[in-house]
Each structure stands twice: as structure tokens, then as C-alpha cells.
Amino acid sequence: MTSKRQYIVYPNRSLQRESHVTNLNSRKVNFPSSSCNSENNISIRKPENREICHNWILSIPKNAAKDSEVEIPIPPSLHRSLTDSKKSLIGSIIEECGKVQIHFPSNNQGPQKVIISGTTDIVEKAKKRLLQLAEEEQAKSYSVAIPVKSKYHQFLMSKNGGNLQSICEKTGVRIIFPTFKNKDQESITIIGTEEAVKNVKKVVEVLLKDLEDVVEDNILISPKFHNYFVMQRGQLLREIIKEYGGVFVTFSYAGKQSTKVTIKGAKACVEAAKKHIQGIFDPLGSQVTAQCVVPPKFHPFIMGPICSRIQQTARECKVQIKFPDTEKTTKKTHPEVQEMEKDKGGKNVRKPASTSPKKSDTTSTSGKTENCKEAAQALETLVPVTAEVQVPFHLHPYIIGHRGSGLRKLIKDFEVHIQVSQPGGNFHIISIMGLEANVEQAKTKLQNQVKALQMELDDQTLRSFRQTFRLDSKYHSKIFGNKGILISQICTEYDVTVHFSKKGSNSTQDQITISGSKSNILGARDAIMNMLRKIEKTVSREIPLNHHVCANIIGFGGKSIQKIMEQYHVDIRVPPKGSHTNSTIIVSGSSANVQEAIDYILSLEKHFLSVGKSDPPSDHHKRGGVCNTAARTYKSFGKRNTLRNVKSTTHPPHLDNAEDFPKLKQQTPPKFHPWRP
């Protein structure tokens, strides 16, 4: 059993992955440990379906005896191509042959053999297929090394290098050039089928033979374009030498106005370099230089941040744009002042100012004629325009914003320059400079901001209107309402603010101030006066109540009296807290409502007095308040007075009497403890 135990226990075996295992997941099987001497004992913890589990475990070694394992020696150089995920060769074998496992060695140490495991017939089928694929990959991996000088590598890799790229695509071979890490830098490797590699080798050898033949050729280039070779630290010259096999390019020195440029090197490289140079300089021969007048003060704006704007124009128009150098002026002169010169006799002669544009105003564009015209039009559109917006001086802080945030947002959104009220100028003008379209958008935005700010200030001015009128202070609390409900409704309806004077100020304690717009103030004042007329029509009556039942009528937290106020639409003033002697309440409202409320309160008083001494307000509230008192029967009061009647008896309570000392539920007997000194 021990020899076959590995087929049952080891998780890497395919037998453990059979569908039978899913039916036995709820069972627990204990195998003896490897150090245990027991070879035949396997315990099953759960007795359910143990016959099924027993038969399945016994069938595993029988099925394992049918499996076989085969080792195939395959060169390590083919392992990578066979296991390539893009080719999916191993996956095709598994799909074709069925349930089989193919294991490749993980490292280069030890025996480099591929292991195939599974049933005998499937293993044989997979072995034949794997050997067939290995032979095909071996045939494709035929390689030959050809010595090639490193200076020709860049030329061979380029499009001009004998069309090697198209040859490789047709034949299916690969040409590997050495990298900086390779020790051998003087050879290239061709990999593919044997026949294709030999054909490509012949083509490369012919090409290398032509490269060894050194020739010299000339090309005519105007001397004014010779500086293109050496500009930007000779970048163009270095690119030609590197890409075309290290050819030598020589041209006339300064002072010798020669148009001949000499190219020396391999024949194929010289021809390719000559075509490349002609493609660069032939269009330059048809170039013209045009001038465009742009005032120097606009040069920084036209160039843009980090010259981005002018570089984009040069790329789009395919021209070169050159701005004049800045002149250092030693004297401050006005452009309209005529120039003064002295003649030979020492007399001052006044010459008229020159009408030709200054050198500092001239911008040069070089390129084709049509491109130069297009660039000139583009430069004209880049010349900024200036617009002025009338902004009242008191609105400038709102436009500028906190630490200039408002102006910065306008400048960033519309790409313009904004200048606010220069010293000594008109303080109500803001200047906007930029492209015409951007200036119009920024101007519209600024004008809208000014209108919105002006409307807001006008609205604040209207809302700052105040009116004060006098009203007897005894009506203030009634107009204010319970927790300010009445006056809050007026403020919300008319969008005003109402201020009552403080109590104690003899001169102004009867004043009410209303703030807001004029029309709203008048409406709020009329509403207050209408409320005052209603208050004057109300009547107030005082009711003296028995101080024993006053708390019962008011209720806990005044809830009972509040219900009476809501029911009869009256206002009831109760005595302050802590006053035990004063029990008079004041009822205010219409005559009919006041009379009904008083009748109801007196009936409650009569009821409480007839029942007996009232309960504390807290107990009364717990039983539902005054409104529910009338619904209670006299029995409830009798029950509450039972304990009082018992306490008033003359005889003392007896321990044996169940009424005096009732028994508690679930009474436990007392525990007795031994006495100790």
C-alpha cells in the first residue's frame, strides 16, 4: 500500500483531480504519516457512504498502474520556442492527444529532459507529436555568423542598406546585430531554415563586397547653405556619417566660395548619402526671404511662452522665422522727432525722419514663396490688439479679486494681458491686450462681471433702507409671537429684517426698526399694524385658580395648557415657576373663544377639587395630562388613595398580614451562615 500511496496523497498527480473527488468533499480521510510503520491502515472519519469511499480509494492504485512516464532528450535551445505562449505548441499537443502532462526543466542545471506522463497510449501519441515539433523548430533554428565591420551596421539596418528588411520578410529569416553587451562587435548572425539562410548569406556577402570598394563623388550646394552641416554642433553631419557607413563629407572652407561638396566612402553608402543630402538642400535652393514689419513691443507676445506660439507657426507654414536682435538705446528719443545732424561748417541741419522701417521692426521669414506669404498672414493675425473697458474705480477690487486671483483667471482663460489703471491716467479704464478673438471674449466676460457687480451693489443699496416707528412695548411680545414665529413669518414673506429695541432703554424701548427695500418695508409695516389692530380687538381676563390644582391644569412642561390654547385659539399666560401663592392665569383672545376657554378651565378645576387632592404634575403627565382626566373614572383616584388611607389607620402593620406585607414573586429562602466570633 505504501508504494501506491503516493498516487492517492500527492496533490500533483492527475488521479487526485478526477471528478470523483467532488462527490467525496464532505468526507474526511486520514492517511498514516510517512514516518508511521502502518502500511495498510487508512481511517475514514465519517461513516456515511464509507463503502463508496472505500471502493474509490482501492480503485486509485489500479488506475495508477496503467499510467506511464517517458523522458525525451530535447536540446535546451529549443525549450523556449516550444513553450512560447504566442505559438502555443504545447497547448495544441494537449488538445490533440487528450489528458497528458508535459513538464520542461525549470533551470539549465541537471538533465535537460522533457517528461511526459499519462496513460500509455496517450503518452506515445504525445511523444511522437513533440519530437515532430522539435525537429521542425530545429530546422528553423539554423544559424550562420558573417563578419561585418561595425561601421556598416547602422547602414545595413536602415532602409537604404540593400533592402535587407524586405529580403528577411520574404525568406522568413532573422538577422541579429550585436548589442553593446556582446563581446563580438564585428559579426552578424542569420537565423532561419538552412536554405533561406544560405540565400541571404550570399546577398549580404555581395553587399559587403560593394561596401569595401571606396569611391568618391561630388554634389553642388550653394555656399550659403554650408552652415546647415555644422549648425547645432554638426548634428546633420554626424547623422549622415553614422547612418551611411562612416562616409566622409568635406566642403569648402570659409573664404573659398566653392559650391562643391565631396562625399567619400563605400559605393552604396555614398549613393545613399548623396540622395539624402539632395533631398535636404534641393528645396532650400528655391527658398526666398520675405520681411514683415512688426513693432518690437509686440515681439514677446508673438513669440509666446517659451517661443511656443512662433514655433507652432513656423511648423505649420514650413518656414523659418527670425526676429531682430534687441537694440540697446543710449539716449531716450521719441520716434516722431526728426534727426539732427551737423554739416561740415558746424551748422545744425534738420533732416526728415526716414520712412523705411527700422531694422528692429523687421521680422524675416525664409522658405517657399507661398509658405512665406502664409507665414506673413499668420504673423499679422498674431499681432495683438488692445481694447479698453470702462470699469468704475470702486469696482476694481472686486474685479482684481483676492491677491489678484480674479485677473489671473481672466488671463489664463483667454490668454490675454490685462492692465488696470496706470498711475496718472484714467482710473476708470482697464486695458486688455491679446489676439482679437481672445480680446473680444475677455471684454465680454469683463463687461458681464461689471454689470453683475453693479446690480448687486444697487440691490444692497436698496436693501440698506431703514424705517423706524413707535409701538407700545406691551404689544412687542404679542407681535413677536411664541418663539418668534409671527415675526419670522413677516420677515420671510417681505424679505426684511425687524429689530425690536431692548427693554430698559426708556427713550427707545417702544421703537421697532425695519431694514430692507423700501417697498418691502412698507408691506412689512402694514402687516405689523394689521396684527396690532387684531391684538387691540382681543380681550384679556384673569382667572384665579386653586393653587392645589393649578399644576394639574398646566400639565408637565405646559403641554396641557398648550392643547387648550390650540383648541380654543387663545393665548394663556401662566404664573411663573416657583410661585406657590400666585395661581392666577390670563386668557387673551376673541371674546367668545376666551369665554369658552375659561369655562373649560373652571370645569377642570372643579373636577380636580371634587376628586380630591391632586397628584404631582409629573404623575399627572405620566397618566396622560388634563385632556384625558375627564375620561378617567373615580376608581383610579380611589386606588391611588388606598395607600394613604392605610397609612392613616391607628393600628400598626402586622408581619403576618398579607395586605401590609405582600409576598414577592420568586422569593428565595434566606441563606444561613454559621456564627463566628
Condensed to tens digits (0 to 9), the pLDDT of residues 227-257 reads: 777 777 778 888 888 888 778 787 765 545 6
Give the N- to C-terminal CA distance of the chain in Å, as an integer.
Answer: 77
Q: Which of 111, 140, 169 lies at the terminal end of a domain, its last residue?
A: 140
The stretch 605-622 carries a mean pLDDT of: 64
Please check whether residue 114 lies inside any domain of the structure: yes
Domain of 167, CATH number, reads: 3.30.1370.10
Confidence of residue 447 (pLDDT cuts 50, 70, 90): very high
pLDDT at residue 509 tops 80 = no
Same domain, 243 and 312: no
Instruction: For residue 203, count CB atoms less than 10 angstroms from its CB and return exposed for 0-12, middle for 13-18, buried for 19 or more.
Output: middle
pLDDT at residue 359 tops 80 = no
Output the pLDDT for position 449. 92
Which has the minimum average pLDDT: 137-146, 481-490, 663-672? Answer: 663-672
Question: Which helix or strand (DSSP H or E) is residue 356 part of?
Answer: none
- Higher per-residue pLDDT: 601 or 665: 601
Confidence of residue 20 (pLDDT cuts 50, 70, 90): very low
pLDDT at residue 200 tops 90 = no
pLDDT at residue 646 tops 80 = no
Q: Which of 44, 65, 86 lies at the terminal end of a domain, its last residue?
A: 65
The stretch 291-295 carries a mean pLDDT of: 85
- Higher per-residue pLDDT: 542 or 156: 542
Residue 506 has a CB neighbour count (10 Å cut-off) of 6
Same domain, 312 and 370: yes
The stretch 664-672 carries a mean pLDDT of: 49
C-alpha span between 518 and 464 (Å, rounded):
9
Please check whether residue 476 lies inside any domain of the structure: no
pLDDT at residue 1 tops 70 = no
- Higher per-residue pLDDT: 571 or 633: 571
Please check whether residue 29 lies inside any domain of the structure: yes
Residue-wise pLDDT tens digits, 390-425: 888 888 888 988 888 999 999 989 888 898 876 555
- Higher per-residue pLDDT: 441 or 328: 441
- Higher per-residue pLDDT: 327 or 359: 359
pLDDT at residue 637 tops 60 = no
pLDDT at residue 655 tops 50 = no
Kindly state the cell numbers that stand for 490.
413677516
Please check whether residue 376 lies inside any domain of the structure: yes
Long-range CB contacts (within 8 A, 24+) of 491-494 = 491/524, 493/524, 493/527, 494/520, 494/521, 494/523, 494/524, 494/527
Same domain, 153 and 234: no
Output the pLDDT for position 252. 61
pLDDT at residue 303 tops 60 = yes
Output the pLDDT for position 8. 46
Per 3-state DSSP, what percentage of the chain is helix, strand, and coil (rounded to 5)?
A: 50, 20, 30
Rounded to two decimals, the pTM is 0.40
pLDDT at residue 164 tops 80 = no
Same domain, 151 and 81: no
Same domain, 546 and 641: yes
Same domain, 161 and 207: yes
Same domain, 551 and 636: yes
The stretch 537-542 carries a mean pLDDT of: 85
Please check whether residue 254 lies inside any domain of the structure: yes
Same domain, 42 and 11: yes
C-alpha span between 494 and 228 (Å, rounded):
81
Please check whether residue 532 lies inside any domain of the structure: no
Q: What is the DSSP string of 485-521?
A: HHHHHHHHHHT-EEEEPPTT-TTTTTEEEEEE-HHHH
CA neighbours closer than 13 Å in the CB half-sphere of residue 619:
7
Confidence of residue 443 (pLDDT cuts 50, 70, 90): very high
Same domain, 400 and 411: yes
Output the pLDDT for position 52. 72
Kindly state the cell numbers that stand for 50.
464509507
Confidence of residue 25 (pLDDT cuts 50, 70, 90): very low
SS3 523: helix
pLDDT at residue 442 tops 90 = yes
**Summary mean pLDDT of the chain:** 74
- Count of domains for the chain: 7
Same domain, 398 and 420: yes
Residue among 69, 75, 66, 135 at smallest CA distance from 100:
69
Strands annotated E in 92-165: 100-103, 113-119, 142-147
Kindly state the cell numbers that stand for 386.
488692445
Output the pLDDT for position 440. 93
Q: Measure Cα distances from 614 to 416, 480, 551, 620, 622 in Å.
A: 85, 35, 9, 8, 14
Same domain, 368 and 427: no
pLDDT at residue 152 tops 90 = no
Residue 243's domain comprises: 214-285
- Higher per-residue pLDDT: 232 or 201: 201
C-alpha span between 151 and 243 (Å, rounded):
9
Share of the chain above pLDDT 70, in %: 71
Output the pLDDT for position 43. 54
C-alpha span between 61 and 9 (Å, rounded):
11
Same domain, 303 and 378: yes
